[in-house]
Chain A
Amino acid sequence: MSSLTKIILQRLGLGLLTLFAVSVIIAFAVELLPGDITQAILGQSANPETVAAFRAEIGLDRPAHVRYLEWLKGILTGDMGQSLANKRDIEDFFGARLSNTLFLGGVAAVISVPLALLLGVLAALYRDSIYDRVVNLTTLTSISFPEFFVAYILILFLSVNIGIFPGISNVSKDLAFGEKLFRTILPALTLTLVVVAHMLRMTRAAIINLLASPYIEMAVLKGTRPMRVILYHALPNAWGPIVNVIALNLAYLVVGVVIVEVVFVYPGVGQLLVDSVSKRDLPVVQVCAITFAAVYILLNLLADIVSIISNPRLMHPR
C-alpha cells in the first residue's frame, strides 16, 4: 500500500472515531443533567405517573448502551424516532428540511467561492494599492458584524426599499427551480457576504506567502508579467491552502445557516433546530445536532486530506 493511501485511510479512521465520540456525547448529553431531564422538561407539574410515562417514552428506563445502539441504528436506517412536541416521526419532515438547507448552502457556495477566489487573487496582485486597502478594511469590518445585522441590512435595501427580492423565503418542495432559487437569493447573499470576507483574506495571504519564494523572484526577474506570475507560478502551488480554506468555510456555512434561516424564516434544519431547542424537544435536537456535526466533521476531514494530497511534504511527518 502506498504511503498516500495509508495516510488517507488513517485520517478517515480518525474522522470516523471523532464522529463516533461526538455521537456518544450527543446521545448522552442528557445524562449530564443533575437530577433528571424529565423533571426539568415537565417542570413543577410533574407527578410520579407522568414522569414514569415520559421516561418510558424517551427510553430512559432502559440501560444506556442499549439505548445508544438503538438510537444509532435508527439514525443510520432512517428511523429517527418521534418528536416530543407533535408526536410525528422525525424522518417524515427531516428529509425535506435537510434538502432545503443543502440547497441554500449550495447556492451560497456557488456564489461565494469563485467571488472570493477572484477578489483574493486581485488583492494579492495589487497588494498595498488602494484596492487592497479598501478590501482589507471592508472584510475586517464585515467579519465583525453579526450575521443578522448583515441580513437585516440586505432586507432593508433589497427587499423593502427596492423590492426586488422577497424578505421571507418560504420555499417548498413543489416549487419550480427558478422560483426556489429566486426566493433563496437573499439568505444565500447574506451567507455569501459573511463567508467571502474570510475566504478572500485567506486566499490573499496564501498567495502573498508564496510570492516571497525564490522561484517567484526568478520569474519576476526574467520579466514575466505580474498576472502571469500569479496565475501560472504562484496559484498552482497555492491550491492546497486555498482548497483547505474553502472546505473550512463551507464547514462554517453549515453553522452560519442556523441564524440566517431564522431571519428569513427559511424552512431548513437550522430553523428546526432552534424551534426544537425552545420547545426542549430533545429527540429532534439530537438528530439535527448529529447531522450538523457529521457534515462539519466530514468537511474538516476533506480539508485535511486535500491539504495532505496537495503538499507532499505533509506525507512524511517527522
Chain B
Amino acid sequence: MIKLFLSAPLSAKFGMVIIVAYVVLALFAPWLAPYKETAIVGGAYELWSDKFVFGTDNIGRDMLTRLIYGARNTIGIAFVTVLLAFLIGGVTGMLAAILGGRYDMIIGRIVDILMAIPSLVFALLLLTIFGTSIPSLIFIIALLDSTRVFRIARSAAMNVVVMEFVEAARLRGEGMAWVIRKEVLPNITAPLLAEFGLRFCFVFLFIAALSFLGLGIQPPLADWGSMVRESATLINYNDITPLLPAMAIAGLTVAVNFVVDWMLHLSSGLRSDQH
C-alpha cells in the first residue's frame, strides 16, 4: 500500500494528500470549526478579521465555520449518492451481462431513453414533482447517474461472464448472487473504482450546481454550492469571499481527477503487461 503510494506520480500524490485533508475536515468538523454550524455570531457580511477569519455570511454566520461544515454535508451527500448509483447501476449492469437476452435488451432501451434527456433538465423536472428534500435529491441523482454506471458495469462484466470459470461456477449450480459476488465483481473492481472517482466528481459538481441554483441542499445546512449563491453579491464589491466555497469545490474535483488519471494509467498499464 505504502509502496503503491510512493510509486505514484507527483500530481497523484498531491491529489491524494488533498483528498485526505478534505476527509479529515469533514470528519472532525465540530472540533475544527471555531463556531457552531448554524449559529449567528455577528452582523451580516462582516469583513475578514481576527475574530471571523473569512468574515460572516448574509445573516451573520461565520464563513470559516460554514466552509468546514460544508465539507461534511457537500462531500457526504455526494458520496452517499454515488454509492447508491453504483449499487443500482452495478447490480442491474452485472445482471444484464449475466442474464442477457430479453432482460438485457429491455433495461438497455430504458437506459438509452433516460440518457437521451440532459440530466440537469431531468433532475429539475423530477425535483419539481418530488420537492427538494435531501432524500429525494439523493434518490433522483443516484437514479439518473446509475444509467452511466450500468453501461460501464455491463460492458466490463460482459468480458468476464464468457470466461470458463464463470461457466464452471454456474454448472456447479451456484446461485446468481454468488456468481455476481465471488466471480464477476472481483474481476471488474479496477475499472469500476476508476469510474467511481469520475462519477464522484460529476455528482459532486452536479449537486453543487443544484445547490447553487437553490434547488439542492437546503438551508440551514452549510453547503458550498448554496454558500456561493448566498454571498454572491459581495463579488460586486471586489470581495473574493464568494470564490472561497467555489474554490473548495474546484479543489476537490481537481484532486480526484489527478488520482483518477493515475489509476486509469495504472490499470491500462497492467492490462498491456498481460498481452
Interface residues on B, range: 35 or more
Q: A18-B113, A29-B129, A289-B125 are in contact. Are A146 and B238 (CB under 8 A)?
A: no
The answer, yes or no, to whether B116 is at the interface (CB within 8 Å) is yes
Tell me whether A259 and B122 are in contact (CB under 8 A).
no
* A274-300 residues at the B interface, CB under 8 angstroms: 274, 276-278, 280-282, 285-286, 288-289, 292-293, 296-297, 300
Provide the B7-43 mask, 1 if CB < 8 A to any CB of A, else 0.
Answer: 0000000000000000000000000000000000000
Provide the B223-250 mask, 1 if CB < 8 A to any CB of A, else 0.
Answer: 0010010001001111010110011011
Tell me whether B124 and A277 are in contact (CB under 8 A).
yes
Bound-state CA distance A70–B130 (Å) is 24
Bound-state CA distance A30–B128 (Å) is 9
Main secondary structure of the interface of B (DSSP, over half): helix
Most buried by B among A40, A145, A300: A145
Tell me whether A293 and B121 are in contact (CB under 8 A).
yes
The answer, yes or no, to whether B253 is at the interface (CB within 8 Å) is yes
Kindly specify which of A71-79, A152-160, A234-242 makes contact with the partner chain: A152-160
Provide the A144-184 mask, 1 if CB < 8 A to any CB of B, else 0.
Answer: 11111100110110001100000100000000000000000
**Who on chain A is nearest to B232 by CB?**
A152
The answer, yes or no, to whether A37 is at the interface (CB within 8 Å) is yes
Tell me whether A146 and B214 are in contact (CB under 8 A).
no
The answer, yes or no, to whether A231 is at the interface (CB within 8 Å) is no
Tell me whether A274 and B213 are in contact (CB under 8 A).
yes
Tell me whether B128 and A276 are in contact (CB under 8 A).
yes
Tell me whether A297 and B116 are in contact (CB under 8 A).
yes
The answer, yes or no, to whether B212 is at the interface (CB within 8 Å) is yes
Interface residues on A, range: 35 or more
Tell me whether B130 and A33 are in contact (CB under 8 A).
yes
Least distance between A269 CB and chain B CB atoms (Å): 10
Tell me whether A278 and B214 are in contact (CB under 8 A).
yes
Residues of chain A with a CB closer than 8 A to B130's CB: 33, 40
Q: A149-B243, A152-B235 are in contact. Are A273 and B124 (CB under 8 A)?
A: yes
The answer, yes or no, to whether B266 is at the interface (CB within 8 Å) is no
Bound-state CA distance A37–B250 (Å) is 37
Tell me whether B254 and A144 are in contact (CB under 8 A).
yes
**Who on chain A is nearest to B261 by CB?**
A140
Bound-state CA distance A78–B243 (Å) is 42
Residues of chain B with a CB closer than 8 A to A3's CB: none
Q: Which residues of A contact B (CB under 8 A)?
A: 18, 21-22, 25-26, 29-30, 32-33, 37, 40, 140-141, 143-149, 152-153, 155-156, 160-161, 167, 251, 254-255, 258-259, 262-263, 273-274, 276-278, 280-282, 285-286, 288-289, 292-293, 296-297, 300
Q: Which residues of B contact A (CB under 8 A)?
A: 112-113, 116-118, 120-122, 124-131, 201, 205, 208-209, 212-215, 225, 228, 232, 235-238, 240, 242-243, 246-247, 249-250, 253-254, 257, 261
Q: List 21 A-B contacts (CB under 8 A).
A: A18-B112, A25-B113, A25-B117, A33-B129, A144-B254, A146-B208, A146-B246, A146-B253, A148-B209, A149-B243, A149-B250, A152-B235, A152-B246, A251-B118, A273-B121, A274-B124, A277-B213, A277-B215, A289-B117, A289-B122, A292-B121
